[in-house]
Amino acid sequence: DAMVIQNPRYQVTQFGKPVTLSCSQTLNHNVMYWYQQKSSQAPKLLFHYYDKDFNNEADTPDNFQSRRPNTSFCFLDIRSPGLGDAAMYLCATSRDHSGTGQPQHFGDGTRLSIL
């Protein structure tokens, strides 16, 4: 089945130690998203890629970076995680059909804990 896969499901890192979360997709979608979701809250968009074009949300901290080396893979890098960055990180994809309201398809998420 075509899907969005996030690894790992659970990630523990130390305060200030860089961490990378990964996402892959077999849907061949042009658009990939990274969201941060804190407990029982709505997801908060960090950034998205349209193909290789990177779009950063205005309020996304500089501490968060992303890479998309090819259509299938996207990475979220947190350069110096703070306690406030502990959250679920969701990757999502959607098809490139501007103006047609394509739904987003989500991975299972990576739960990040900071020690």
Residue numbers of the site for another protein (CB under 8 A)? 31, 33, 40-43, 45, 48, 50, 55, 90, 92, 94, 98-99, 101-109
| Residue number with CB closer to another protein (70 or 98) | 98
Q: Is the peptide bond before 81 cis (omega within 30 degrees of 0)?
A: no
Q: How far is the CB of 100 from another protein (least distance, A)?
A: 8
Write down how long the chain is.
115
> DSSP labels for 46-109?
EEEEETTEEEE-TT--TTEEEE-SSSSEEEEEESS--GGG-EEEEEEEE---TTS-PPPEE---
Q: How far is the CB of 115 from another protein (least distance, A)?
A: 21
| Residue number with CB closer to another protein (19 or 90) | 90
Q: How far is the CB of 19 from another protein (least distance, A)?
A: 20
| Residue number with CB closer to another protein (81 or 109) | 109
- Tell me if 29 sits within 8 A of 13, measured CB to CB: no
